[in-house]
Amino acid sequence: MQRNGVRAVCIAFAVACLPTVLLTNSERPAPARTAVISAVPIRAATLPSVDKQTRGHATPIHRAHPIAKPRPPRPERPITDMPTGSLTVTLSFDDGPDPRWTPTVLDLLRQYHAKAIFCMVGLHAAANPALVRRIAAEGHVLCDHSWTHDEHLGRRPAGTIEFEVGHTAAVITQAAGVAPRYYRAPGGNWTPNVIVTAQSHRLHPLGWSVDPADWAKPGTSAIIARVLGTVHPGAVILMHDGYGDRSQSVAALRQILPALAARGYRFTVPR
């Protein structure tokens, strides 16, 4: 009975200590707590302002400089004299080639060993390619005198000017096998836009310094007197071999050539 009492005391002691044992066994060291950095939302007001006034200042963008446009060519002044330092003159004939008058003019020039500049209208050159070839083959210089002899060409649109000048040059070149070197404005009505167009085709503007106005048919004697009365060394003489009756011009040329030769003049063209 005493043994049973001891057992009962031991059991009661164990039961009394059980919560303490369980609590002790279940405790574990708490893991070390780390500081948590919370993400703070960034408000739009804190961002750099990118508006129309500040755009491009924060990070400048290097842009290429615009390419400067080339300056248009400066129009040449029309040539009116071709001085050589000696007694020379340059004969020029406008408005041909004409199948009636141009062959006679060529025959007279050959007789006096004279060279000349022929300023041809494109329509006439296209209609008489054999004459264009003869002019070039006999050593004369070719000149573009526009396609239709429009005396107001400078007022026309750029495309019309280009056709009048460029197409005429192409037709002359095709017929002669040699490109024209000069351009003469119909009526001598020069404008910068026409000159620049001629220059784009490597044509130099050709004027004159002696004009007997043979185109107006003033009479053979008047044509001769005007040429012989105003001629000078280096002069460019204007005459006509096309557009209508040029009998007065041809008759005057028959006397002008020997008269100038008697004065010691030679007939040359630029090379």
Given the structure tokens 């302002």, which residue do they identify? 49
In a domain, residue 138? The reply is yes
Which SS3 state, helix, strand or coil, does residue 238 take? strand
Q: For 266, which DSSP code?
A: E
Residue 164 contacts by C-beta under 8 Å, 6 or more apart in sequence? 122, 146, 147, 148, 150, 153, 156
Residue type, 82: M
Q: Which pLDDT tens digit goes with each residue over 153-211?
A: 999 999 999 999 999 999 999 999 999 999 999 999 999 999 999 999 999 999 999 99
Backbone angles phi, psi at 240, to 5 degrees: -135, 145
Is residue 197 a part of any domain in this protein?
yes
94 is catalytic: yes
Contacts of 40 (CB under 8 A, 6+ apart): none
The angle, 0 to 180 degrees and rounded to 10, between the axes of the packed helices 102-111 and 129-137 is: 10
Rounded Cα distance, 133 and 135, in Å: 5
Q: State residue 171's pLDDT score.
A: 98
Domain range for 142? 88-267
pLDDT at 16 over 90: no
Owner of token pair 């004459």: 131
CATH number of domain containing 158: 3.20.20.370
Domain count, the chain: 1
Q: 140, 145, 204, 240: which one is catalytic?
A: 240
Tell me which of 109 and 38 has the higher pLDDT. Answer: 109
Write out the two tokens for 224: 């001769």
In a domain, 263, yes or no: yes
Q: Is the pLDDT of residue 14 over 50?
A: no
User: Tens digits of per-residue pLDDT, 64-97?
Assistant: 556 666 666 688 999 999 999 899 999 999 999 9
Q: Which of 211, 250, 231 is nearest to 98 (CA)?
A: 250
CA angle 239, 217, 110 (to 5 degrees): 35
User: Is 36 inside any structural domain?
Assistant: no
Please, what is the angle between helix 247-262 and helix 102-111, to 10°? 10
- Answer yes or no: is 253 within a domain: yes
Residue 112 lies in a domain: yes
Kindly report the number of other CB atoms within 10 A of residue 174's CB atom.
Answer: 13
- What angle, 0 to 180 degrees and rounded to 10, lies between the N-to-C axes of helices 220-230 and 247-262? 40
Cβ–Cβ under 8 Å, residues 125 and 102: no
> Of residues 94, 95, 214, 241, which has the active-site annotation?
94
- The 10s digit of each residue's pLDDT in 181-191 is 999 999 999 99
Let me know if 211 is a catalytic residue: no
Q: What is the pTM of this model?
A: 0.74
Average of per-residue pLDDT values in the chain: 83
Looking at residue 202, what is its pLDDT? Answer: 97
Residue 13: predicted pLDDT: 46
Burial of 222 (0-12, 13-18, 19+ CB in 10 A): middle
Structure tokens at 238: 């204007």
- At 155, the amino acid letter reads R
Q: Work out the angle between the directed axes of helices 129-137 and 168-176 (0-180°, nearest 10).
A: 70
Whether residue 198 lies inside any domain: the answer is yes
Is 68 within a domain?
Answer: no
